[in-house]
Structure formats: structure tokens, C-alpha cells
Amino acid sequence: MTVAGWLTIVLFAVILTALALPLGSYMAAVYSGRRVLLSPILAGPEKWLYKLLCVDPKREQDWKGYAKSLLIFSLAGWLLLYLILRTQTVWNFTGLNPTGFHSGSWNVTFNTVSSFMTNTNWQFYSGETTMSYFSQMAGLTVQNWLSAGVGITVAVALIRGIIGRSGKSLGNFWQDLVRTILYVLAPLSVLAAIMLVSQGAIQNFSNYLTAHTITGLTQKIAMGPVASQEAIKMLGTNGGGFFNTNSAHPFENPTAFTNLFEMLLVLIIPAALIFTFGRMTGNRRQGYAIYGAVIFMFLGAVAVAYIAEAHGSPAQHAAGLHTGVIPGSTGGNMEGKEQRFGIAGSALFNVVTTVTSCGAVNSALESFTGIGGAVPFANLSASEVIFGGVGTGLYSILMYVLLAVFIGGLMVGRTPEWLGKKIEAREIKLAGLGILITPLAALFCTALATASHAGRASISELGKGPQGFSETFYAYLSQANNNGSAFAGYTGYIQPNAGNLGAHGVTFADLLGGFDMTFARYAPILFALAIAGSLAGKRVSPAGLGTMRTDNPTFVILLIGVIILVGALTFFPALLLGPIVQGLTGHLY
Amino acid sequence: MRRDILTSAIAVVLFTILLGVIYPLFITGVSQVAFPGKANGQQIHFNGKLVGSKIIGQSFASPVIGKNGKPEEKEEELVTEADPRYFQSRPSATEGGAYNAAASTFSNRGPNDKETEEVDAENIKAYLELNKPYDPSLTVAQVPVDAVNTSGSNLDPEISPANAWIQAHRVAAKRGLSLSVVDGLISKYTSGRGLGFSGEEGVNVLELNLALDRLNAGGK
């Protein structure tokens, strides 16, 4: 461990908070329909979009109407992306398939499409050896935007339900979607993409290069429109890399500075939305309390991962490698890590992307030490509440807030109230289901995949002993949480040659994963919207002396306790079988 | 319901045009005008031909010439051996030979895996064999981790300064240069931390090797 390493972690948290505060206020203004800085430029295109879409933005929707629009829109996006990927060769006339890749097979395409629609961006395929530039930009990039937009609309609808004074309206789905894309994602994404190119991320449509090296070898170098996808991939907490090695690839993440920049892109919207919540409820301290809880858990996770990775792995030590800090090298477990990021930059990045639903990686999770690798597991076990994905994070943690309010209410013996509204059996039932559905999907799929021949076929050759279980468990946990990071040895796609000639998907893993992602994305969305609908109609009663406050440190501690308790109770047995065993033993398998 | 279906159908097509075609084209246009070198991958030309990208690592091994005068192959991959005149990059395990930048991949070697130990041990041995003759005080304890472990992308363009300082003994001896000249080049091609605190310092191997070649060519 080094001073610079710890400094990176602390300064990152400070910069993030400083940037998220103003963005949170901005987004609150956008979703309240107030004029903002960009209104003079964007109000015109906004109106124009409503006209083209045949939408009346003033038409208010109740939770069922909102959910219906959301589901139908997602389904339409699914169908179009499936069509694009399955007909990859048809689009060769655009000249955007210079390497001549074939179209995807049905099973892996099913998985990929479900993955991008649900903001998971789990990838069984490898970008630079199977996807044409056309599929990457017109297919995958588009869902990077839309899935992020859908996530944010749900969070906004839930906030409206919570603050609603009367009636059933949650706003209008189409209006929220258009505003999210136009006012939030587009400006940030354009700026971020240009910033990334200025630092060395590539953006072109060239053929793959062939270099003749000075020692007489030839090297093929993949090209592509990378930066435009990279920006929205991080900003929308998507995480699906243009290249197989994602943000470890120098063309996606060229320097230590871009590494920091990309981490900020990932967390900026989830962090800002927490402040947006505080603003919109009219009590900013509500936002600060939730932010306090998540940043505390976040920093705890980073510290554990950094210490574990700096210590090195049993395999390194058995081989005789010294992993301490020496002049000119920080030592540690550098297997699967890039020199320019180092141990701290890699540990921090992977915590950033596993607490959110981003799932981008800048180093090989599979090569993390047992305890270092247990951190992403633990983050996923908390079901996307530590910042979480764009939108999904906020609505997920608000369900935990409901649960904490309920438990707190039971402890003090009063009817639980939250922001002046009585919390009753219906809301708690919905929140309970919303919280438990993701772990349920993850554990069910893991059990099925571990117990069946078809499931075990996906475990890599290197996944021996507990590593094999960790791979499997991580795969379905990551997909259920719509995260998309992977212990990348787990395969769902066999590709003997570049150009996917003769390639085939592993049907079991592709289908199970696809259903896992879809179910665990849309079921909680429906529960969140149902809660919003149920709260929207409730009358607000003034807070009395006996009302439990939800904006003070006591509540922060209660909330952290509830999150850890639920996560630990659901996942601890499974975690013991995989990463914890590996972390506690020096034994090699 | 019917209205939602209509709107959804228009929406996915419209957004595909806006976000999937116009947005990437716009970014490409801006990038190609403002940062053409960066946007095209920081290609490096040497003696008039493309020798690689500044930020994509490559192998500095030479093909082994067999008895028949042709490069030897094993399982359809070229047999190569480290060229001692050049700084060597980190080990790479991409398919189709090391540093295949058309198919980046993680090695996915587990922390508790016997195979990881074996590969690490082999790499330590190879590193010592290559460098110890020129730096007799070198011991296992000084072998930097990045010289033994594969990187994330397996295309890491950099090595740690510690790794470069050790290899400097060999390169200086092989090229008839003084150690201080080589060390000077190393610090010239060492990138600093991001914003002064983030990430680690690294030495760009391709740039360093090209600078050495230029130095030797100019000196003769």
C-alpha cells in the first residue's frame, strides 16, 4: 500500500461529492419542469421530439400506465436490437463491417440483447472479434442510452409518488425519458466522449491496422468508434466494453487520468440522484442521510479490496514472488492489472463498477485475491443500493429505506411514517418483495447451474475447486443485479476463429442468464412503481414529536444495518463456499 | 395500449438514428478534426512504416529461424525468443501469440490456482535467466511483480520503473551504451501519475526501444 494509493481513494470521494451536489440540483429542476441552464437550447428539440413520437407530455399517467409504457418501450428496443445483431451481415453495405464478421447465433444474441436492454451489459461475446462497427454503434450504443434512461425514469416516478400530495399521477413516462436523454445524458455524454478522445481513446471507422514491429513480428490492432460508446457506457452505468477486455484496454481507458475520469462518470448520476431526491422532497437532509450511508459502505469496500490486493495472492507467494513495495514498483497482486492504474486504481475502479450496475472492469476480477474478489461479491449482495445503477440505485435503496422505517417504527412502537406518509402493510409487502426478488433470482440460477451438467459446462478449465463455484455464482449474481462484470472464465460462447465462423453459444448459460437479467430487472421496477402508486394517493400528516426522523445519524446507522443484515442473511452461505474459502486458505487447487 | 405501441416503435427507430448514427458520427467528426492522432490510435511510424501504436503494448521477441531458414512454428504460432537488445514488455497471454491486439483477453488466472503458481515460477525463471548475467546482484526478491504477472488487457504498453531499471543493465551492455544514458531514456519515457496522485508511473516500452534504436543509428 502507498500514500498515493490511499490519496487516490479519498480524493476521488471528495471530487465525486463536489460534482454530484450541483448535478443533483440541476436534475431536480429538470424533473420538476423548471427552466434550467440548457432550456433555451433544448426546449425546441424537446417539443419537436414529442411531436414525432405522437406524445402529449401533459397527459399524466398512474403507475399502471407508466409501467405499461415502460414495458412496451423496452420490448420494442429488445426486438430491434435482436434484429440488428442477427442480421449483422445485411448491414455490410454501410461499410461498417470492415473485418467481415458474421451475424450472431440465436442463443448468444438472446443473452446479449437481454443484457443490453436491462442495463446489465453482461457479455458472453467478445467485441473486437464478433461485432461489426454498425452493430456496436447503431445497436449496442443505443441501448446503452435507453436502458439508462429507463432506469432514471423509474427513480423519478418513485420520487413523485413519495412527494405526491393527492391523486395518482406519477408524471409521464415519455416526457421523463426524453428529458433524461436530452437534458442529462446527452450533454454529459458528448463532453465525456470528446474528453476521452483528447486523452487517447480512439474514435474512427478504419480497418484493423497491421503493424510490422521492430523485431520482425506483425501485430494486428483492432480499431473502431470506441470513445462515443465508452462515454455512455460509463455515464449510464452500462459497462459493456467495446473490446473484450473492457476498460483495461488502452484504447478504452488510455491513462491513469482517464481511469479517474471514467470512475467519476460512473458514479456521478447515481450520486447526484440521491441529492435530487433530497431536493424534490423539500428536505435536502433526506438526501444527505442516504448519501452518508452509501458513501460509508462504499469507502469500506474500497479499503478492504485495496488492502487485499496490495497483499498479493497465494499463487504469487508460492511461486516465490515478493509482493511488497520496492522502489519503482508497488508490488501487490498485479496479475490481471494494468501498470498505469496500479493496485489502488484497479481496486477502486472495480468497487466503483460493482456497487453500481456498471460492471465495467479495468482489471481481471477472476484474478483478484479471495478477499479482494469477495468485495465485488459483497457489493452485488447488497443488491445495487450502494449508489447502484442510474435510477435503479435510488429506487432500490428507497425500498430499503421503507424497510428500515418499518423496522424502526416497530422498535419504537408507533405506526411507521415516512416523509409524513403512513407506511402500511401494502407498501412493506411490495418493498419486501422488491428487495428479495434479486437475491432469489441469483441464488436460484446459481443452484440450477451448479447442479446441472449443462450448467457446469460453462466453468473454465482454470476454474478449479472453489474458483469454479465462484465463477458460476458471480455470473448469475452479476446478471441478476444487472451489473455485468464477470469472473470472465465463465463461458457462454465458444468462438474457435475470429469472425465468429463456426462459433456457437452455450444455450443453457445464455438462456438462463437472459431470463435472470430480465426477471431481476423488471420485477423490481414493477414493485417500485406500485409502491409509488400506493404512496402517491396518501395524505400527508404533519410530523409530531414521536415521529422517527429519517434524516439524522441514527437513521443512517439503522439503514446500513438493515442493508448489511438482508445481504448477509441471503448470501452468506453461498459466499462461504466460494470467495471466503479462497481468502482464508493458502491452498492451491 | 395501441398508442404506446405506436410511440415505442417510432421511439426505437428515432433514437437509433439520433443516438446510434448521428451521435457517433458527430463525435467521430469532432475527434478527427480536433485530435486526429489520438482518435486514430497514436500510430507510430519508424523508417516509413507502421511499427505499432504508442498505447498498445507489443512483443519485443524475434522469430526463431529454423534449420530450413524459415521462421519456426509450433501449433500455428511463431516460435519467438526475447530479443536482449530491447526492453521486454510484460508477459502476455493473448491467443494467436503474445500481444495480439485484434483479440484482447484476460488471462483469468485464479489467485489460488496451481497453474498460476507454475506460470509465475516460469516467468520468474525466464526473467532471471535473461537479466542476471548483466546484473549479478539480481535476486528473486527484486523481481518486480509486473515482470511476472500478465496485465488486464494483455496489451499493457508499460512496465514499472523497477522493471526497466533492471533490464537497463542488459540493454546497455548489449548496445554498448553507458547505464546512465539508458537510465536517462527510461526517465524520459516514464509517464507520471494522473493529476499527480492517481495510478502508477509506467515506462512506455515501445517509445523507449525506438529511442534506443535511434540513438544507436545516430551514433554509428
ipTM: 0.96
Whether residue A243 and residue B116 make contact (CB cut-off 8 A), yes or no, is: no
Rama region for A383: left / alpha / beta (φ>0; ψ in -120 to 50; rest): left
Whether residue B149 and residue A336 make contact (CB cut-off 8 A), yes or no, is: yes
For residue A369, give the nearest of A324, A331, A332, A330 by alpha carbon. Answer: A332
Q: Which residue out of B45, B62, B70, B113 would a mutagenesis test of the A interface target, given it has the greatest number of A Cβ atoms within 10 Å?
A: B113
Q: How many helices (H) and strands (E) does chain A have?
A: 22, 6
Helices (H), chain B: 2-15, 23-34, 36-39, 114-131, 161-175, 179-188, 205-219
Type and span of the H or E element at A212: strand A209-212
- Residue A315: which residues within 8 A CB-CB, separation 6 or more? A335, A588, B109, B110, B111, B112, B113, B114, B116, B117, B120
Distance from CA of A419 to the nearest CA of B (A): 33
CA distances from A558 to A411, A423, A555 (A): 11, 17, 5
Q: Which residue out of A326, A340, A487 would a mutagenesis test of the B interface target, given it has the greatest number of B Cβ atoms within 10 Å?
A: A340
Q: What pLDDT is stored for residue B115 in this prediction? A: 92
Per residue in A555-569, pLDDT (tens digit) is 999 999 999 999 888
Sheet holding B202-204, edge to edge: B158-159, B202-204, B190-191
CA–CA separation, A377 vs A354, rounded Å?
8
Across the range B18-47, mean pLDDT stands at 97
For B62, which of A186, A205, A216 is closest by C-beta distance? Answer: A216
Helix (H, G, I), strand (E, B) or coil at A584: helix
- DSSP of A517-577: HHHHHHHHHHHHHHHHHHHHTPPP----TTPPPSSSHHHHHHHHHHHHHHHHHHHHHHHII
For residue A155, give the nearest of A54, A300, A296, A270 by alpha carbon. Answer: A270
- Using CA coordinates, name the residue in chain B closest to A212: B51
For B10, which of A52, A181, A462 is closest by C-beta distance? Answer: A52
Identify whether the C-beta of residue B198 lies closer than 8 Å to the C-beta of residue B216.
no
For residue A68, give the nearest of A142, A158, A162, A174 by alpha carbon. Answer: A174
Band the pLDDT of B219: cuts 50, 70, 90.
low
CA–CA separation, A583 vs A6, rounded Å?
22
What nine digits make up the cell of A226? 470506441
For B106, which of A202, A245, A327 is closest by C-beta distance? Answer: A245
Q: What pLDDT is stored for residue A580 in this prediction? A: 86
CA–CA separation, A102 vs A81, rounded Å?
16
* DSSP assignment letter at A246: G
Distance from CA of B199 to the nearest CA of A (A): 4
Residue-averaged pLDDT of chain A: 93
CA–CA separation, A359 vs B167, rounded Å?
37
Q: Which residue do the cell numbers 496485465 mark?
A: B151
Q: What pLDDT is stored for residue A166 in this prediction? A: 67
For residue A72, give the nearest of B3, B10, B2, B4 by alpha carbon. Answer: B4
| Contact list, A312 vs chain B (CB under 8 Å) | 145
| Contact list, A313 vs chain B (CB under 8 Å) | 111-112, 116
Q: What are the two backbone dihedrals, phi and then psi, of residue A481, each rounded to the nearest 5 degrees?
A: -85, 5
CA–CA separation, B44 vs B26, rounded Å?
26
| Contact list, B6 vs chain A (CB under 8 Å) | 54
Band the pLDDT of A284: cuts 50, 70, 90.
very high
pTM: 0.95
Per residue in A426-484, pLDDT (tens digit) is 999 999 999 999 999 999 999 999 999 999 999 988 777 888 999 999 999 999 999 99
Band the pLDDT of B28: cuts 50, 70, 90.
very high
- DSSP of A425-462: HHHHHHHHHHHHHHHHHHHHHHHHHHHSHHHHTTS-TT
Q: What is the dihedral of CA A467, A472, A473, A476, to 10 degrees?
A: 150
- What Rg do the C-alpha atoms of chain B give, in angstroms? 23
Whether residue B27 and residue A319 make contact (CB cut-off 8 A), yes or no, is: no
Residue type at A8 in one-letter notation: T
Distance from CA of B16 to the nearest CA of A (A): 6
Distance from CA of A310 to the nearest CA of B (A): 11
For A146, which of B3, B15, B21 is closest by C-beta distance? Answer: B15
pLDDT at B155 over 60: yes
> What percent of chain A clears pLDDT 90, i.e. is strictly above it?
84
> What percent of chain A clears pLDDT 70, i.e. is strictly above it?
100
For A141, which of B20, B35, B107 is closest by C-beta distance? Answer: B20
Q: Which residue out of A198, A219, A302 would a mutagenesis test of the B interface target, given it has the greatest number of B Cβ atoms within 10 Å?
A: A219
pLDDT at A165 over 60: yes
Identify whether the C-beta of residue A575 lies closer than 8 Å to the C-beta of residue A381.
yes
Per residue in A11-64, pLDDT (tens digit) is 999 999 999 999 999 999 999 999 999 999 999 999 999 999 999 999 999 999
Across the range A72-88, mean pLDDT stands at 97
CA–CA separation, A64 vs B21, rounded Å?
33
The two most distant CA atoms of chain A are separated, in Å, by 80
For residue A320, give the nearest of B11, B125, B186 by alpha carbon. Answer: B125
pLDDT at B204 over 90: yes
Identify whether the C-beta of residue A197 lies closer than 8 Å to the C-beta of residue B36.
no
Q: What pLDDT is stored for residue B220 in this prediction? A: 47
Per residue in A200-247, pLDDT (tens digit) is 999 999 999 999 999 999 999 999 999 999 999 999 999 999 999 999
Q: Which of A104-118, A280-294, A533-547 has the lowest mean pLDDT?
A: A533-547
Residue type at A219 in one-letter notation: Q
Q: What pLDDT is stored for residue A174 in this prediction? A: 97
| Contact list, A256 vs chain B (CB under 8 Å) | 191, 193-194, 198-200
Across the range A168-174, mean pLDDT stands at 93
Whether residue B10 and residue A54 make contact (CB cut-off 8 A), yes or no, is: yes
